[in-house]
Structure 1
Amino acid sequence: MLQIRDLSISMRKDLRPLIEGFSFALNPGDRVAVVGEEGDGKSTLLKVIYDAEMVEGYAEWSGQVLRDGLLLGYLEQEVGPGDGALSGYEFCCKEPAFLESSPGELALAAGKLGVPVELFYTDRPVGTLSGGEKVKLRMALLTLRRPDVYLLDEPSNDLDVETLEWLEEFILNCGKPVMYISHDEALLENTANVVLHIEQLRRKTLPRWTVAKMGYRQYVEERLGRMEKQAQLARKEREEDRKRQEKILKMEQQVQHRMDSISHAERDAVARLLKKKMKSVKSMEHRFERERGDMTELPETEEAILVGFGPGVGIPAGKTVLELELPELRTEDGELLSEGIQLNVRGPEHICITGRNGAGKTTLLRKIAALLLPRGDIRAGYMPQSYAETVDQSLTPVEFLTGGSGEKAVMTRAKTYLGSMKYTPEECGHSISELSGGQKAKLFLLKMILDSNNVLVLDEPTRNFSPLSGPVIRGMLKDFPGCIISVSHDRRFIEEVGENVYELTENGLVKI
């Protein structure tokens, strides 16, 4: 049994506490979903549990993690620095379990994940693999290790629907305790039996954690219901208190007016009575003040906040946004991915492209972005799957949003928008490389809002948003009056945002 006792974690740079006094026992059969807003420390918690040395550069911690001889298996959110240049085979050889596995075991692991066994031996650099292929390859290597506990940081990122279904079955039936972070609401609802909710309240100065031994949907519904009841009771008590204060104030004014208007002849007798009444009123006021300290608190919650697109980002219904005819789609290495691709987009259509991992969706979207971004008749914005693809990670969020402009009004506007999305002043001064994946994704959307983009080209836009932010993001994009051309495996996103859905196959785009 994995035990955590009185664990506290804080950031080195700004001393911000991420989690305090956390105690927990991971038992056989537990499938623990770790949820929370972007930048709240979910990934850092998993790293401390697995190997605290992984956070030494940016975080401090105290407490105990008792592993009791257990072999922990950890899936990092991204491929490690420097590994992208390795070939697939070189990358696999870094894992001892791969070298010790028989060809039959390798074939079985590859088959379960729906990847060719040749992927273990490929000469292709890991950095050129699709996002889903990277996750599958690392999951296969992890299962070869046969750990006693699985710690999975965003295992659902970039997986196609078929592999997501495999991942659900794996979490449910692997027979080992699993603690995992995921932004896929369907995965959470179908697999979790324990929810660990990490929050940052009071502008990220007060950490709070909650452990609920129940399914994710039940937790969300009970939490919302409980907080709504608390809020109703708190509002009712405050309204009653307001009426009492008004009554007391009126009584005080009446007594004071009577005292000011009594004649000299009746002053002594009446004044004694009025003073007695005033004393009674003051006593009542003091009693109400004491009761006010016992009033129900308004619930403290960390809600997902995202500013919306302003006016003027619509697209006329007949406007031609894209007329794409692509005889062939190939990788940078020349591998043929698809043939005969055609895609016509007009007006405020919301297009979603899906398909198996490695089909070439990101490659296709890059080509679409290259066509649309230079156009002068539209204002296109692009969110790549890998944020470093188009953004200097050494920039601060403010520098990214302002384009380096030192103009006071421009900087003030950027900081105001960042504040509305719960960036602290300290985080506004951090480099983008120090931000969480979800915070980076919010930056891209915020940039599109500030630039008034009316065409959004989005590669897996919800992949790094928390399941609590997800509904807010989907609602905003669903109501977007401009055009969206996106790639996604997010089942909720496809259902709610994708008005026209296409699957990328070897024979082009097929409308679903």
Structure 2
Amino acid sequence: MLQIKNLSVTHKKDLRPLLENFSFSLNAGDKAVIISEEGNGKSTLLKLIYDPGLVEGYAEYTGEILTGSTLLGYLPQEFPRECKEQTIYSYCMAAPAFSEVNPGDLAAIAARLRLPKDIFYSDQLCGTLSGGEKIKLQIAVLQMYQPDIYLLDEPSNDIDIETLEWLEQFINTCQKPVLYVSHDETLIERTANVVIHLEQIMRKTKPRHTIVRMPYREYITNREAGFLRQEQQAQNERREYRKQMERFRQIQQKVETDQKNITRQDPHTGQLLKKKMKAVKSQEYRFEREKENMTEVPDMEKAIFVKITPETRIPNGKVILDYRQEPLKAGDHLLASCVCLRVTGPEKIGIIGRNGAGKTTLLKQIASELLVRPDIKAAYMPQDYEELLNPVQNPVEFLSSRSDKEELTAIRTYLGSMRYTADEMAHPVRELSGGQKAKLLFLKMSLDGCNVLILDEPTRNFSPLSGPVIRRVLKDFQGAVLSISHDRKYLEEVVDTIYELTENGLHKRS
């Protein structure tokens, strides 16, 4: 159905290889997840499979992508900008399959996604939908096409927990193969039976890929155990090599000393020493051959490193927020009759709720209060990064406040710890992946010494490999965190108190 032969992909601007000699077949029953650190080419690979024209501006490739007459259904990572000013009805009408689906089937699709049954005929602008509603709308249109293969780029982004559970069921029960990218570890653990791992090793100069047909957690466990065994074996071999070389040098030095002290009157001893030196040289060559055949020290792509300064501690009794909004509205639309939220000390609050419930609206209002408070240092990470990021700035320019040599050197060091290459540090923000943009905002909060973090879906663009690092950092953070999240591992590992936003207000979840 889908066959890829010897695919190699190169980033045009950096001349950095993203893939080398990648071959893969997607078969019936496959639920294949592509994982990698941010910026390693996951989305590029999906775009290339669907339509090579989508990447021709920044990447070139060799190899074959064979799809035959297979109908591909592609969900992009970001909702198309040009469609945001369209009505939902216009957006659906642009899909030829829409007019071929009868109203009963349309209603069934809407019901499965918990969308209003008449949503597809709505005059509401697509740009006014919540992030999760946009994802649902795109998935609904894909279902109208009934493709032979689903290519899904971050389908789990921004959708609520109930829809995430529906998505898991959809992937697991779908009769068609699914190739997808996701940062939701729970979703991956519950759905993937094939793992495609793209890595950049040797300081991001060489790509490596691994394809295994096994569940994700089993792959990660086997990978870590394998690397540990390889590292231990490599260390043992090198330790034994050093011991052998030390003994060899002692023998060599003794023979050389004896040769210097030999007299012409003792030719027999001289011949014996020559033979002994020849044996020593032969042993040296053998050691060199053994060194070449030693087990390699494993070169694995390490997760990002990020740290928030310890000076961010908040006293336990300090009132961070005493918020009341009655009612909560988005324009003329009533979201909740009354919202009350009190936060004291270094609490970590998680807000959940259905898509469109008003979570982002609420968090923006809370942020507007906290960002101007002189007694705290607050930072806001929006769901749409472009609210804070200038698309033409590069990462160093975004993080710099003084632009002196010392600051710029420090910033490049920090970016390096977040796995930016020197070339990526010079790229304009618009060319960065979603995960790389998220790294920038986290790094900015760290450098600014913020002690109150207001985060809208903070883990949504971090890879399954970087996600545990971010969760650990936020768990250990000694300031306050107010966040919206549908990431079940984040809610379980980081958050102290979960509130659900409904039309009646915020309700604490047990």
* The two structures share one fold, judged by TM-score above 0.5: yes
How far 1:307 sits from its partner (Å)? 2.4
Measured after TM superposition, the shift of residue 351 of structure 1 is: 0.9
CA distance, structure 2, for counterparts of residue 276 and residue 212 of structure 1? 54
Q: Give the structure 2 partner of residue 139 of structure 1.
A: 139
Mapped to 2, the partners of 1:205 and 1:26 lie a distance apart of: 28
Q: Find the aligned partners of 1:193 and 1:169 in 2 and give their Cα distance.
A: 14
Matches within 5 A, 1:96-111: 96-111=96-111
The one-letter amino acid paired with 1:423 is Y
The Cα shift of 1:60 comes to: 0.8
The equivalent of 1:497 in structure 2 is: 494
Task: Provide the residue aligned with 2:447 in structure 1.
Answer: 450
Q: Structure 1 266/158 Cα, relative in aligned 2: closer, same or farther at 3 Å?
A: farther
1:251-283 CA-to-partner distances (Å, cap 9, x unmatched) read 3344455556x4869876655555544443333
- Residue of structure 2 aligned with 1:485, choices 482, 487, 493: 482
Please say if 1:472 is aligned against 2:469: yes
Counterpart for residue 293 of structure 2: 294
Partner of 1:321: 320
Deviations 1:159-190 (A, max 9, x none): 11110111011111120011001111111111
C-alpha offsets along residues 88-141 of structure 1, whole Å, 9 cap, x if unaligned? 222222211123222212111100101112332333321221111010011011
- Paired residues of 2:310 and 2:478 also in contact (CA < 8 A): no
Please give the root-mean-square deviation of Cα atoms over the aligned residues, in Å: 1.7
Q: Distance in 2 between matches of 1:61 and 1:30?
A: 25
Q: CA deviation at 1:341?
A: 1.0
Residues of 2 paired with 1:265 and 1:196: CA distance? 71
Question: 1:51 is matched by which residue type in structure 2?
Answer: D
In the alignment, does 2:75 pair up with 1:75?
A: yes
The residue number in structure 2 matching 1:3 is 3
1:306-363 CA deviation, whole Å, 9 max, x = no partner?
Answer: 22122311111112211111112111x3201112211111111111111111111111
Q: Which residue of 2 aligns with 1:159?
A: 159
Partner residue of 2:45?
45
Give the superposition deviation at 1:293.
0.1
CA distance in 2, matches of 1:268, 1:348: 85
Check if 1:306 corresponds to 2:305: yes
2:394 matched residue in structure 1: 396
> What is the one-letter code of the residue matched to 1:344?
R
Secondary structure at the counterpart of residue 336 of structure 1:
strand
Partner of residue 94, structure 2: 94
Q: Which amino acid aligns with 1:365?
A: L
Q: Distance in 2 between matches of 1:159 and 1:185?
A: 14
The one-letter amino acid of 1:431's match is P
Matching of residue 340 in structure 1 with residue 334 in structure 2: no
Aligned equivalent of 1:33: 33
SS in 1 for 2:40: coil
Name the amino acid aligned to 2:403.
G
Letter in 2 for 1:411: L
How does the TM-score come out when normalised to structure 1? Answer: 0.96
Q: What is the DSSP-based 3-state SS (H/G/I as helix, E as strand, rest coil) of the residue aligned with 1:7?
A: strand
Query: Offset of 1:455 from its aligned partner?
Result: 1.1
Q: Which runs of 5+ in 2 are unaligned?
A: none
Contact kept? 2:171, 2:191, Cα under 8 Å: yes
Call closer, same or farther: CA 1:281–1:68 in 2, change over 3 Å. Answer: same
**Alignment-derived partner of residue 432 in structure 1:** 429
Aligned equivalent of 1:363: 361
**Equivalent residue of 2:208, what SS?**
strand
Partner of 1:382: 380
Shift of 1:219: 1.1
When normalised by structure 2's length, the TM-score is: 0.96
| 1:194-234 Cα distance to aligned partner (Å, 9 max, x none) | 11111111122111111101111111111111111111111
Output one character per residue of 1:63-98: Cα deviation in whole Å (capped at 9) or x when no partner.
221112111100011111221222222222221112
Provide closer, same or farther for how the CA distance between residues 504 and 275 of structure 1 changes in structure 2, counting only shifts above 3 A: same
Amino acid paired to 1:447: K
Question: Is the deviation greater in 68-77 or in 241-250?
Answer: 241-250
Superposed displacement of residue 155, structure 1: 0.4
**3-state SS in 2 of match to 1:330:** strand
Bigger mean CA deviation after superposition, 450-459 or 483-492: 450-459
Q: Which amino acid aligns with 2:400?
A: T
Structure 2 Cα separation of the partners of residues 509 and 253 of structure 1: 80
- Provide the C-alpha distance between the structure 1 equivalents of 2:500 and 2:323, rounded to a whole number of angstroms: 16
Q: 2: distance between equivalents of 1:268 and 1:378?
A: 89
Q: Which moved more, 1:135-144 or 1:11-20?
A: 11-20
Please give the alpha-carbon distance, in whole angstroms, between the structure 1 residues aligned to 2:455 and 2:238.
45
C-alpha separation between the residues in 2 aligned to 1:488 and 1:300?
34
Equivalent position amino acid for 1:84 in 2: K
User: Do 2:262 and 2:270's aligned partners in 1 also have CA atoms closer than 8 Å?
Assistant: no
Instruction: Among all aligned residue pairs of Structure 1 and Structure 2, give the percentage whose two residues are the same amino acid.
Output: 54
Higher mean displacement: 444-453 or 122-131: 122-131
The one-letter code sitting in structure 2 at the alignment partner of 1:39 is: G
Shift of 1:37: 0.8
Please state if 1:330 is matched with 2:329: yes
Partner secondary structure for residue 82 of structure 1: helix
Alpha-carbon distance change, 271 to 173 in structure 1, aligned in 2, over 3 angstroms: same
| Alignment correspondent of 1:420 | 417
Q: Which residue type is aligned with residue 420 of structure 2?
A: Y
CA distance in 2, matches of 1:344, 1:272: 92
Q: Decide which moves more: 176-185 or 86-95.
A: 86-95
Alpha-carbon distance in 2 for matches of 1:396, 1:8: 27
CA–CA separation in structure 2 for the residues paired with 1:77 and 1:283:
61
Q: What letter matches 1:195 in structure 2?
A: V
SS in structure 1 at match of 2:84: helix
Are 1:410 and 2:407 an aligned pair?
yes
Structure 1 residue runs of 5 or longer lacking an equivalent are none
Between the aligned partners of 2:277 and 2:122, the Cα distance in structure 1 is 89
Q: Could you tell me how far 1:301 is from its partner in structure 2?
A: 1.0
Name the aligned partner's letter for residue 120 of structure 1.
F
Does structure 1 conserve the Cα–Cα contact (< 8 Å) formed by 2:154 and 2:180? yes
